[in-house]
Amino acid sequence: MEQDEAVIKIEVTGLRKSYVERRLKRRFLSQCKHQEDCKVLDGLTFSIEAGTFACFIGPSGCGKSTMFRIISGFERPTSGQVLIDGKEVMGPDSRHVCVFQEDGLFPWLTARQNISMGLRKAGSDQSMDSVEEYLDLVGLSGFGDHYPHELSGGMRRRAEVARALITSPDILFMDEPFGALDFVTRLQMREEMVNVHQMFDMTILFITHDIDEALQLGDRIIMLSDRPSKVAWDIVLDEPHPRDLSSGTLRELRRQIYYKMGLHVAL
């Protein structure tokens, strides 16, 4: 996409979020002015272009999930503003779909029935034939009648991705979706997500603690600082897929990210 044709999909300006530290909250209302605030986000400002695969990394507990809940409309900021397509986010939107860390499949439904739930929630007029197409898309053809406990962790993640994609989301939010998977399955799911992004050209916001995962998936990598979080580094990646992290450019960038986060590549 040419620079002058770029369309801003998400615009975050001066985003702040604070919580009352309950352990320090005073017993009496007259003393409320002395209670302490726990600052999580401290003036986050960035914009995401339409069709971007944006990965967010940062220290554990820095507020990445809180930021996601605010951008997706499930939580209100203390101050600041989130615009999607130029309109302020005031609550959840059915066009914006979330995939979380936890297994979100209904255990009493088969994989096919779980995926079809996406159609019902979105009020889509797509036929059930679409469910079979999406089962095939994520490599679950032949497993539609299996219940979640009969599927591997990677298969359950694929079913959740299919349930999200079948709604034709405008934005896909993914909060550490592959964190519980084994190494090989994670690699397979990364490949699936690259294919999905290229096929649907949707805007994806993806939280990960895995630097290699961010480098392999993202068009953008936004690194948050420790709490209270600010944007510590905003990286644009122009490397084509598939990406070889042993190549000179990505290897050096990987090393810089590690050092920026206070880590060492060689442990």
Query: pLDDT digits over 189-201, tens only?
Result: 999 999 999 998 8
3-state helix, strand, coil in the chain (%, to 5): 35, 25, 40
Model pLDDT, residue 224: 96
Residue 254's pLDDT band (cuts 50, 70, 90)? very high
Tens of pLDDT, residues 71-95: 999 999 999 999 999 999 999 998 9
pLDDT tens for 26-59 read: 555 554 454 567 889 999 999 999 999 999 999 9
Q: Strand, helix or coil at 15?
A: strand
Q: What span, in angstroms and rounded, lies between the C-alpha atoms of 184 and 182?
A: 6
The Cα–Cα gap between 262 and 92 comes to: 36
Token couple for 170: 């405008």
- Whether the full predicted model's pTM is greater than 0.85, yes or no, is yes
- pLDDT score recorded for residue 212: 94
Q: Which of 3, 59, 86, 99 is nearest to 233 (CA)?
A: 59
Distance of alpha carbon 148 from the chain centroid: 22
In 3D, which of 253, 209, 226 has the Cα closest to residue 55? 209
In angstroms, the CA 223 to CA 233 distance is 5
